[in-house]
Amino acid sequence: MALLIQKFGGTSVGNIERIHRIAELIERTCQTGNQVVVVLSAMSGETDRLWRLAHDVTPHPDARELDVLLSSGERVTIALLAMKLRSRGINARSFTGRQVGIVTNSSHTRARIAKVTADPVRRALAEGVLPIVAGFQGVNERSEVTTLGRGGSDLTAVALAATLQADRCVIFTDVDGVSTADPNVVPTARRIPKLSYEEMLELSSLGAKVLQARSVEFAAKYSVPVEVKSSFQEGEGTLVTHEDVDMERAVVSGVTGDRNQAKITVVGVPDQPGIAANLFGAVAGASVLVDMIIQNVSHQDSLTDISFTVPRNDLARAMALVKRTANEIGARSVEVTEKIAKVSLVGVGMRSHSGVASRMFQTLAREKMNIMMISTSEIKISCVLDEENLNKAVQALHKEFGLESPRETGKIH
Amino acid sequence: MALLIQKFGGTSVGNIERIHRIAELIERTCQTGNQVVVVLSAMSGETDRLWRLAHDVTPHPDARELDVLLSSGERVTIALLAMKLRSRGINARSFTGRQVGIVTNSSHTRARIAKVTADPVRRALAEGVLPIVAGFQGVNERSEVTTLGRGGSDLTAVALAATLQADRCVIFTDVDGVSTADPNVVPTARRIPKLSYEEMLELSSLGAKVLQARSVEFAAKYSVPVEVKSSFQEGEGTLVTHEDVDMERAVVSGVTGDRNQAKITVVGVPDQPGIAANLFGAVAGASVLVDMIIQNVSHQDSLTDISFTVPRNDLARAMALVKRTANEIGARSVEVTEKIAKVSLVGVGMRSHSGVASRMFQTLAREKMNIMMISTSEIKISCVLDEENLNKAVQALHKEFGLESPRETGKIH
């Protein structure tokens, strides 16, 4: 008998008909002799609706109160599903974040999990009860409601799987798994059957919306096998697990495109030690994630230019800080480019295969695209391009690395 | 400095604009040097919406899960109001039923309050925080969410007022107080400035929807002065308090009409001891409130007929039980009349004035209305009539007892 965590996102519980369908799905899983713990999101659109309500009340709603508000959405879905299952003769019971014992720090609206006791869930399972758990929410040490940020229900599911030492954490979503590229951009994109945690982490960070990056980190840390699959159709999904030494290893697993990018250039910066630290210290202090950084070689006048990218939706916040700091350090001006995007290749195979980067650059050159910035990790290469080139770049790279056909196992020319 | 509980119903928090208005109202109350604790309902229509969602999922939703679902509505309003007040520089903080320490029994969807600690609210007040409390909800001893039934937010407000020994519990609603009759039926109906708990209790039980009967009982038991007033317009409301010996006492305070009535007649019941106990024991066991009972004198064959009224929305449930019991005791048949209604006069003055009943009967006779059943208490007389006569009866009685002009102080001819 396996213990499975089954997490359903907002679209999977978006209306009564869908709740009915996942009730059937859960019932089938139980009938095959598995123990199940269900984790749910709010109905799709509900969290956004509540968010808008709050911002209609006041432009800067208090974060503690925002969490009280936002956490109401999952109460609705857990109660409805528990009712549905009970009406079908299954002994289901709903649990809020507090009742499950998900204890977080006090960073409201983006709390981090500090501890998961899950004792009530263990007791419920021992009594033959099927627990239906509210995702996305917890309580701090003063028992005040907190939420885990966007995609936080994935994190709830993985954290529960880790605590309960579940055999697998299954994330049900509206796509059939993780794809080699966004199927809206690349019609020949395929589902990837198996990914390592590191690949999934890169893909999540690079804009693949299927699994929240923090959940992947958590899963890797506690070795929770995570499967991403469709709640609407039967069949295999994508299994995310530790890298398997024996497994047929693709050089490149997937291509991602990310439009949430903006470039800031600080022009005429005195080329002295500590200047960059000043600049990026200020931005990091505001929790803005700086991604790529380029510093030009010094001009003859000992002045340099520093360019870096930030998420486009953090641009206003970043600019306020950068302008002030630029002023303090005596830089000449600050320039912004919004119409950029990032295309990335991800694959553990890159570790053992050289030549991926040059093949990527050649492909983009052949398409006459100018590369503005480059960054690499062990298993990833990213290039910043004009935003208008993004889809063509993703398509060309998807083709170049043979991702439309079953995995290519190496042999870079 | 007075401590006031201010409770706002669903229409008072029905949208962002109204939340804005009650924030201003609360702010004004604080500025006059009062301490305030706010109790809120869910947005108007929200509890009904959730109730329908549940019944779309399954015809008989589990009561525990129903409470998890229904209690989500007040979380939304307390968070929104707390945000609004905080954005205006007031140190407000939301509290759920659990956080306030409202402990109930486990009768889900109609729980009774067992204990109110309110310590977190006391601490908040001591810190200069304005507590915004979710009405209608509590937790049982296992810390599972419960709800207090329809109008339960009134009860939360009164219970908090009692526990905190507040100077007054103000129930803000969409009418300007308790009226001598329903203004939709009697255009000359007036606001009643002052009522005793007993009168209010009779009026609430008889269909005046302005204050929940259980809240009135609770207020009387703990001597909480309750004021009912409009959240939409300035001015006095209705003060409900202990009977004031010196106060100008009206013979009749108000007239009510109640259409939620149905009559069941069990025909041909053997006239033996214990038969009535069997019959009403069965109905009471299903928590159906039997109101008036008439037993005819025995026929020559030692058979009798028993008629009684039940709330019309409990009729189906009552009939199932009555038919079974009627069968067991060998009654001849069971008949139902749905198109009946109850008109009632309420007033503490009846205690010391005789003749109210006969004047009521004369008035109805003059209007050529047949009285089917009568019941009386110390401060109330009710008559059951054809439903189609109800409005005319209420109008005639309102006029007969001079309720359209300021209080008549006695002198029944």
Closest partner residue to B68 (CB to CB) among A16, A94, A144 is A94
To test the contact with chain B by mutation, choose from A67, A68, A143 the residue with the greatest count of B C-beta atoms within 10 A, namely A68
Length of chain B: 413
User: A84 and B143: CB-CB below 8 Å?
Assistant: no
Closest partner residue to A87 (CB to CB) among B60, B71, B76 is B60
Alpha carbon of A382: minimum distance to chain B alpha carbons (Å): 42
User: Residues of B with CB below 8 A from A73's CB?
Assistant: 72
User: A82 and B72: CB-CB below 8 Å?
Assistant: no
Question: Coil, helix or strand for A391?
Answer: helix
Model pLDDT, residue A241 = 94
Q: What residues 36-95 of chain B have any CB closer than 8 A to a CB of chain A?
A: 50, 53-54, 56-62, 64-66, 68-69, 71-73, 75-76, 78-80, 82-84, 86-87, 93-94
User: Residues of A with CB below 8 A from B65's CB?
Assistant: 79-80, 82-83, 86, 93-94
pLDDT band at A249; cut points 50, 70, 90: low
User: A68 and B56: CB-CB below 8 Å?
Assistant: no
Closest partner residue to B76 (CB to CB) among A59, A72, A82 is A72
Do the Cβ atoms of B81 and B90 come closer than 8 Å?
Answer: no
Alpha carbon of A98: minimum distance to chain B alpha carbons (Å): 10
User: B82 and A66: CB-CB below 8 Å?
Assistant: no
Model pLDDT, residue B66 = 96
Q: How far apart are CA A253 and CA B63, in angstroms?
A: 49
User: A87 and B53: CB-CB below 8 Å?
Assistant: no
Closest partner residue to B57 (CB to CB) among A54, A56, A80 is A80
Model pLDDT, residue B409 = 45
Closest partner residue to B57 (CB to CB) among A16, A60, A62 is A16
Q: Mean pLDDT, to the nearest integer, of A139-168?
A: 95
Q: How far apart are CA A90 and CA B292, in angstroms?
A: 42
User: Residues of B with CB below 8 A from A139's CB?
Assistant: none
pLDDT band at A413; cut points 50, 70, 90: very low
Spell out the residues 6+ positions from residue B233 whose beta carbon is closer than 8 angstroms to its own. B176
How many beta-carbon contacts under 8 Å exist across A and B? Answer: 116
Task: Give the model confidence (pLDDT) of A54-113 as tens digits.
Answer: 999 999 999 999 999 999 999 999 999 999 999 999 999 999 999 999 999 999 999 999
Per-residue pLDDT for A407 more than 60?
no
Predicted TM-score (pTM) of this structure: 0.85
Q: What is the DSSP string of B177-220?
A: S-BSS-TTT-TT--B-SEEEHHHHHHHHHTT-TTS-HHHHHHHH
Residue B207: C-alpha distances to residues A53, B324, B341, B344, B399 (Å): 35, 30, 11, 10, 20
- The DSSP code for B65 is H
Q: Within a 10 A sphere around the Cβ of B116, how many other Cβ atoms?
A: 20
User: Could you state, in order of their start, the residue ranges of all structural domains in chain B?
Assistant: 3-174
Alpha carbon of B108: minimum distance to chain A alpha carbons (Å): 13
To test the contact with chain B by mutation, choose from A16, A80, A136 the residue with the greatest count of B C-beta atoms within 10 A, namely A80
User: B78 and A68: CB-CB below 8 Å?
Assistant: yes
Per-residue pLDDT for A264 more than 70?
yes
Q: Which CATH number fits domain A3-174: 3.40.1160.10, 3.40.50.2300, 3.30.70.1520, 3.20.20.100?
A: 3.40.1160.10
User: Closest Cα to residue B402, out of B367, B356, B370, B365?
Assistant: B356
To test the contact with chain A by mutation, choose from B13, B66, B69, B98 the residue with the greatest count of A C-beta atoms within 10 A, namely B69
- The DSSP code for B10 is G
Model pLDDT, residue B376 = 87
Model pLDDT, residue A248 = 57
Residue of A nearest to B86 (CA): A62
User: Residues of B with CB below 8 A from A79's CB?
Assistant: 54, 65-66, 68-69, 72
Task: Give the model confidence (pLDDT) of A38-54 as tens digits.
Answer: 999 999 999 999 999 99
User: Closest Cα to residue B125, out of B167, B91, B102, B78?
Assistant: B91
Model pLDDT, residue B272 = 80
Alpha carbon of A145: minimum distance to chain B alpha carbons (Å): 10
Q: How far apart are CA B137 and CA B76, in angstroms?
A: 13
Model pLDDT, residue A276 = 79
Q: Which helix (H) or strand (E) holds A161?
A: helix A152-163
Model pLDDT, residue B247 = 55
Mean pLDDT by 10 residues, chain B (413 residues): 95 94 95 96 93 95 96 97 97 97 94 94 97 97 93 95 97 91 93 92 80 90 95 90 70 91 92 81 80 77 87 90 90 93 91 86 94 89 95 96 70 35
Alpha carbon of A304: minimum distance to chain B alpha carbons (Å): 44
Closest partner residue to B16 (CB to CB) among A57, A60, A93 is A57
Per-residue pLDDT for A21 more than 90?
yes
Alpha carbon of B34: minimum distance to chain A alpha carbons (Å): 24
- The DSSP code for B11 is G
Q: What is the DSSP string of B23-57?
A: HHHHHHHHHTT-EEEEEE-PPTTHHHHHHHHHHHH
β-strands A262-270, A238-241 pairing: unpaired
Closest partner residue to A79 (CB to CB) among B56, B60, B69 is B69
Closest partner residue to B75 (CB to CB) among A56, A69, A94 is A69
Model pLDDT, residue A408 = 46
Closest partner residue to A75 (CB to CB) among B60, B72, B87 is B72
Residue of B nearest to A94 (CA): B65
Tokens of A199: 């690949």
Q: How far apart are CA A87 and CA B183, in angstroms?
A: 44
User: A83 and B76: CB-CB below 8 Å?
Assistant: no
Model pLDDT, residue B99 = 95
User: Residues of A with CB below 8 A from B56's CB?
Assistant: 16
β-strands A130-134, A92-95 pairing: parallel
To test the contact with chain A by mutation, choose from B16, B18, B67, B72 the residue with the greatest count of A C-beta atoms within 10 A, namely B72
The residue type found at B214 is R
Q: How far apart are CA A170 and CA A176, in angstroms?
A: 12
Model pLDDT, residue B93 = 98
Packed helices B16-31 and A46-57: angle between N→C axes, nearest 10 degrees: 40
Q: How far apart are CA A200 and CA A208, in angstroms?
A: 9
Range name among A46-55, A134-143, A237-246, B338-347 with the lowest pLDDT average: A237-246
